Amino acid sequence: MEIENHTFITEFLILGLSNDPKLQPLLFGLFLSMYLVTLFGNLLIILAVSSDSYLHNPMYFLLSNLSFIDICFISTTIPKMLVNMQSQRKDISYIQCLTQVYFFNTFAGMDNFLLTLMAYDRFVAICHPLNYTVIMNPRLCALLILMFWIIMFWVSLIHVLLINELNFSRGTEIPHFFCELAQVLKVSNSDNHVNNVFLYVVTSLLGVIPMTGILMSYSQIASSLLRMSSTVSKYKAFSTCSSHLCVVSLFYGSGLGVYFSSSVVHSSQRRMVASLMYTVVSPMLNPFIYTLRNKDVKGALGKIFTRVASSPSSINDILNKLLLRSVRQIF
């Protein structure tokens, strides 16, 4: 196979989930439905938080940011996959592939950081309730989120710049349904030792440190719960953490599944199935987990539906608030 410098490579081939043409319409309908459910569910969370003043506190501010990140996260991979399924093509341009690598890593890292910050928020709320408003003030939350964005911006940019120095063969095939960083490095024809070292170091730091923070937060929470004498107080404290624990378990469980499937199992099909849990199923289920287990969010959503049912024109005001909220979260 002829080797070309990356500057002459115009596209890669994404092999996707299946080569069977009969399965393409079924897969297209399935993933389109999952994508729309994810968008609708996470937009409802953002809408509920922005429209109800009772939810204007650090806990729900972080939740709305998580919903926004999940929308961006799934939008990085699924739309291109749907376009390829519909057009019966497998190509993705070199620039599109690097863009996908950049944004996928950025939003995955932001998910990781936000879950850690949400664990710290629950730790402060349960273990230091009297100082909660002082410690978890809006300015601190905004600064931390901005710092996370800056970190992931530079980390992802370095990944892309390092990939840009690699050589690829004409007609390079990526055995995945999107341009995953590890898979792109595997199909390179040049020495990618520096890329792999940077990938392992960054993955270790951005994986181990946040996970350690989450474990430490919940160990302190568990210790505080054991010291509580009232069963009712224990239940209330635990109920505020249950949704976050479910989301953390889903996120890190699926992430570890991808890691072990890549290390132990050599089937690309199984790796892709494991990746689906991490990239598609997790962002889709998060709104359901928080909505079904949170009375405040359900109450805010009930108010929105009541307002829309009684006055359909009020939906314009709600959408304007949602737009303003989204813009503030971006900037």
Supply the DSSP string of 130-180, one letter for each residue.
Answer: GGHHHHT-HHHHHHHHHHHHHHHHHHHHHHHHHHTT-EEETT-EESSSS--
What is the pLDDT at residue 153? 95
Is-above-0.75 flag for pTM?
Answer: yes
Say how far residue 98 (Cα) sits from the centre of its chain: 18
What is the pLDDT at residue 288? 85
What is the pLDDT at residue 167? 87
Greater confidence, 170 or 106?
106
Residues with Cβ < 8 Å from 237, sequence gap 6 or more?
A: 126, 221, 224, 225, 228
Residue 280 structure tokens: 């598609």
Percent of residues, the chain, with pLDDT higher than 90:
27
What is the pLDDT at residue 108? 92
Residue 178 structure tokens: 């999107």
pLDDT in tens, 128-172: 888 888 898 888 899 999 999 999 999 999 999 999 988 888 878
What is the pLDDT at residue 325? 55
Helix segments in the chain, DSSP class H = 24-51, 58-75, 78-87, 94-127, 132-135, 138-163, 181-186, 193-227, 231-264, 268-276, 282-292, 295-310, 314-330
CB atoms closer than 10 angstroms to residue 140: 13
Comparing 133-137, 177-181, 230-234, 312-316, which segment has the lowest mean pLDDT? Answer: 312-316
Greater confidence, 277 or 147?
147
Greater confidence, 258 or 53?
53
Residues with Cβ < 8 Å from 169, sequence gap 6 or more?
A: 1, 2, 3, 4, 187, 189
For residue 82, pLDDT beyond 70: yes
Mean pLDDT of 81-90: 86
Distances (CA, A) of 151 to 64, 144, 145, 200, 321: 20, 11, 10, 16, 29
Q: Which domains does the chain have, with CATH numbers?
A: 11-330 (1.20.1070.10)
What is the pLDDT at residue 56? 83
d(CA 93, CA 225): 53
d(CA 87, CA 128): 55
d(CA 153, CA 199): 15
For residue 321, what pLDDT band results from cuts at 50, 70 and 90?
low
Give the Cα-Cα-Cα angle 102, 107, 110 (nearest 5 degrees).
Answer: 125
What is the pLDDT at residue 60? 87
Percent of residues, the chain, with pLDDT higher than 70:
85
Q: 36-46: buried (b, 16+ CB within 10 Å) or exposed (e) per residue?
A: eebbebbbbbb
What is the pLDDT at residue 271? 72
For residue 104, what pLDDT band results from cuts at 50, 70 and 90?
very high
pLDDT in tens, 220-274: 888 888 887 777 777 777 777 878 888 888 888 776 666 655 555 555 666 777 7
Mean pLDDT of 296-312: 71
